[in-house]
Amino acid sequence: MYITFPTMKNLNKLKNLGIVGDNYRPISVKYLLSTDDLSIIRWFSSIAHVLLNYYYPAQNFLDIRETINYSLRYSLLATLGHKHGKSIAWAIRSYGKSPSVMLRDAQGEWTKISCFISLKDVHGLTRKRHEGFTILRQRSESAASR
């Protein structure tokens, strides 16, 4: 028995949330445009973490990574760009591909308040079989360099 990530079912759920359009390409989420950048990033980040945590034992784990890296990431960037009246390219230049919100404290130090999961973190996730269970783990640096 295998657990699988039902790609089309989840893309349809993302479509119902307004994250992807009729052609399943990422679009901006219109009902988030009135919220602040921090809330937008946290909303998308929570969806990414729910998908990762729920489907980590799935046989087709690469489909989950693709959904997060493409659909969620670019919808987040499109939403941030749309909110500021700019393009996705502007959002990537301004926020990077892993958008985050930083806050400067009284000493002038920057602190990261919230961020979307980075490309490196998503690509570093692997599945490891251990005594009949599948464990999600971060790839070690030595394994990543091979």
The bridge status of strand 125-130 relative to strand 100-104 is unpaired
| pLDDT exceeds cutoff 90 at 102 | no
Q: Are 56 and 134 in contact (CB under 8 A)?
A: yes
For the stretch 13-69, pLDDT in tens is 999 999 999 999 999 999 999 999 999 999 999 998 888 888 877 888 788 888 888
Phi (first) and psi of residue 28, to 5 degrees: -75, 145
